[in-house]
Amino acid sequence: MRGMVHVIRPNERDSGTAQTSGMKREAGISQKLTGSEGLWMGTGMNEPGGYSGVHHHGHTESGIYILKGRIRFRWGDNLENVVDTEPGDFVFVPPYEVHSEENLDPDQPAEFLLARNSQEAIVVNVPDPRE
């Protein structure tokens, strides 16, 4: 059986998805919005100079595409791994990988696209190991 093509406009995105402090996520493709059974996609944003809380996404894989700004990703048991990204970069985060994102621009928000291989809105916020 064939489904229906859905177009989700910016004002139709769902901000009721799981959140992490310091970051705003909005779903664009989800079971709720489109009837999608496997794919979840959305947008993310970090305020100028802002950083997300430390978290992981359980058993799901995450793909991130940087649209605007420079974002520093930290990951590992003690967030010991660091890489800086910029518009046009893709980032793959494997299941259960503890990580955080930091907007390196103190004046402009950082924006990115998110994709996951599950409809489950899994965000497991964990204590910052550096504290």
What pLDDT score was predicted for residue 128?
86
pLDDT on residue 97: 95
State residue 60 phi and psi, 5-degree precision: -90, 150
pLDDT at 6 over 60: yes
Domain assignment present for 13: no
Q: What is the CATH number of the domain that holds 23?
A: 2.60.120.10
Q: In the prediction, which pLDDT does 1 show?
A: 47
Q: In the predicted model, is pLDDT for residue 35 greater than 80?
A: yes
In a domain, 2, yes or no: no
Does residue 96 sit within a domain? yes
Q: Residue 93 and residue 75: Cα distance in Å, rounded?
A: 9
User: Tens digits of per-residue pLDDT, 39-48?
Assistant: 899 999 999 9
| Distance, CA of 87 to CA of 106 (rounded, Å) | 16
**Residue 11: is its pLDDT beyond 70?**
yes
- Give the single-character DSSP code of 27: E
pLDDT band, residue 2 (cuts 50/70/90): low
Q: What is the pLDDT of residues 54-113, one digit of tens each?
A: 999 899 999 999 999 999 999 998 999 999 999 999 999 999 999 999 999 999 999 999
C-alpha separations of 22 from 2, 92, 101, 121 in Å: 39, 20, 9, 17
Q: What is the DSSP string of 46-87?
A: E-TT-BPPPEE-TT--EEEEEEES-EEEEESTTS-EEEEE-T
Residue 112: predicted pLDDT: 96
Give the sheet arrangement for strand 71-75, strand by strand: 81-85, 71-75, 99-103, 55-56, 124-125
Q: Is residue 14 part of a domain?
A: no
pTM: 0.88
Report yes or no on 75 lying in a domain.
yes
Is residue 122 predicted with pLDDT exceeding 80? no
Q: How many domains does the chain have?
A: 1
Q: What are phi and psi of 111, to 5 degrees?
A: -130, 145
Residue 60 is part of which domain span?
Answer: 19-120
CA 6/CA 108 separation, integer angstroms:
31
pLDDT of the residue at 9: 94
